[in-house]
Amino acid sequence: MIVEPKVRGFICTTAHPEGCKESIKRQIEYVKRHGQKEGPKKVLIIGASTGYGLASRISLAYTYGAATLGVMYEKPAKENRTATPGYYNTEALEEFLHQDGYYGESINGDAFSREVKEMTIAKIKEDLGQVDMVIYSLAAPRRTDEDGVTYSSVLKTTSVPYTNKSLDLRNNQISEVTVPAATEEEEIATVKVMGGEDWALWIDALKDAGVLSEGVITIAYSYIGPKLTYPIYYEGTIGKAKEDLYQTSVLLNETLKDLQGKAYISVNKALVTQASAAIPVVPLYISILYKVMKEQQLHEGCIEQMDRLFFENLDHLEEELDEQQRIRMDDYEMLPEVQEKVAEAWDYVTTENLSEYADIKGYWEEFYHMFGFHYDNIDYTKDVEL
């Protein structure tokens, strides 16, 4: 079948298998350029098929030769429907890993469920014995609890409605959006989905099963961002969930003490991913940020961020922590010279001058790349197996 992108707002409903493979290949090549060193050997990545989790998996496998077990929630192809990009990414990555002689297996199912936790533990016992690192990189819209109740996360403020500029991804127009305030129930639901409870359930279950090795490290990903996006992010419902994730890291440090283990939050850079495209205001911020950071030669994508974390910083993490003991991979994003330029551009940007102030082309290139499209060495006119 010939596969073309079908973009609906901030989502693309098709994915190109060969393009996804190309994206994996490029990420592997990026990591391979620096050779290998000693480090984690057996890693569990929860949320391993796209974005930061996928880049973590690639970086850890090709920097340390680590065996990686990935958990994700992706759909295979069905009749004329393509699979989700995370499905193709995982298939391609496993193929590369096996060719290169590395262990790489995946569990496709709902990470929030007890069943998937049990399947993962059984798989670790069978294939790896124990893991020495657990990456928690879930970005999910909803979570169904053990008792059958479904919680949906919302991207709203936690105080009053908030109005600001936003990029309408359907037509590249800048318009004003008003983000409503969440109800208390919605706030609680967002914390349920994107907060730390499930991370703790994973670590507790893994520890109880005896599959965490001495000195285990677990890292979950978070975001802070500039004052500009505070009402919608840092102080919004998602920010509340991230605060809960942080508090969980404090608790997990206690849980892991007897194993001499550590739990960290890594605050990462704002990037185009399926998760971030859905947040109001943020895509405009990201496209301005890309322009500024590219001009200052500070731009990084998921793989550059995760490779800097795992290749450069991992063996001296403690020296890199901020006053709240968080890893700050958003260090370049938050530089005053970057943020001043972004704030200036934010005031001036309109639909008419969008490409002058924002890297709208770069935003869309990365967006299409996520779904395996717009790679110049792929022939998209050719039939592909779904």
Q: Is 71 in the site for ligand NAI (CB under 6 A)?
A: yes
Q: Is position 52 annotated in a ligand binding site? A: yes
Q: Is 305 in the site for ligand NAI (CB under 6 A)?
A: no
Distance CA 98, CA 270 (A): 32
Among residues 274, 247, 276, 275, the alpha carbon closest in space to that of 263 is found at 247
Q: Is position 223 annotated in a ligand binding site? A: yes
Q: Is 85 in the site for ligand NAI (CB under 6 A)?
A: no
Active site residues: 233
CB within 8 Å of 28: residues ≥ 6 apart? 58, 62, 96
Rounded (10°) CA dihedral 140, 200, 218, 151: 10
Indicate which single residue of 110, 168, 320, 331 sits in contact with ligand NAI (rule: CB under 6 A).
Answer: 110
Q: Is position 259 annotated in a ligand binding site? A: no
Q: Is 47 in the site for ligand NAI (CB under 6 A)?
A: yes
Report the residue number, 213 or 325, with the smaller CB distance to ligand NAI: 325
Q: Is 87 in the site for ligand NAI (CB under 6 A)?
A: no
Please report, for residues 174, 231, 286, 348, the alpha-carbon distance to residue 358 in angstroms, rounded to integers and kept in the order given.
11, 21, 8, 11
Which tokens is 1 given?
Answer: 């079948």
Distance CA 157, CA 145 (A): 24
Q: Is 106 in the site for ligand NAI (CB under 6 A)?
A: no
Q: Is position 88 annotated in a ligand binding site? A: no
Binding to ligand NAI in span 135-154, by CB under 6 A: 137-140
Indicate which single residue of 274, 306, 342, 373 sits in contact with ligand NAI (rule: CB under 6 A).
Answer: 274
Q: Is position 100 annotated in a ligand binding site? A: no
Binding to ligand NAI in span 49-68, by CB under 6 A: 49-53
Q: Is 195 in the site for ligand NAI (CB under 6 A)?
A: no
Q: Is 276 in the site for ligand NAI (CB under 6 A)?
A: yes
Which tokens is 374 given?
Answer: 């717009």
Distance CA 166, CA 188 (A): 26
Q: Is 111 in the site for ligand NAI (CB under 6 A)?
A: yes
Q: Is position 111 annotated in a ligand binding site? A: yes
Judge contact between 211 and 124, C-beta under 8 A: yes
Distance CA 174, CA 284 (A): 8
Please report, for residues 228, 345, 350, 352, 358, the alpha-carbon distance to residue 355 in angstroms, rounded to integers and kept in the order given.
20, 11, 9, 8, 5
Q: Is position 340 annotated in a ligand binding site? A: no
Q: Interface with ligand NAI by CB under 6 A: which range of 31-39, 176-184, 271-279, 354-362?
A: 271-279
Which tokens is 325 given?
Answer: 């003991």
Judge contact between 259 and 363, C-beta under 8 A: no
Indicate which single residue of 222, 229, 248, 249 sits in contact with ligand NAI (rule: CB under 6 A).
Answer: 222
Q: Is 196 in the site for ligand NAI (CB under 6 A)?
A: no
Distance CA 136, CA 313 (A): 18
Closest-CB residue for ligand NAI? 51
Total site size for ligand NAI, rule CB under 6 A: 29
What are the binding residues?
A: 47-52, 73-74, 110-111, 138-139, 223, 242, 271-273
What are the binding residues for NAD(+)?
A: 47-52, 73-74, 110-111, 138-139, 242, 271-273
* Interacting residues with ligand NAI (CB under 6 A): 47-53, 71-74, 86, 110-112, 137-140, 221-223, 268, 270-271, 273-276
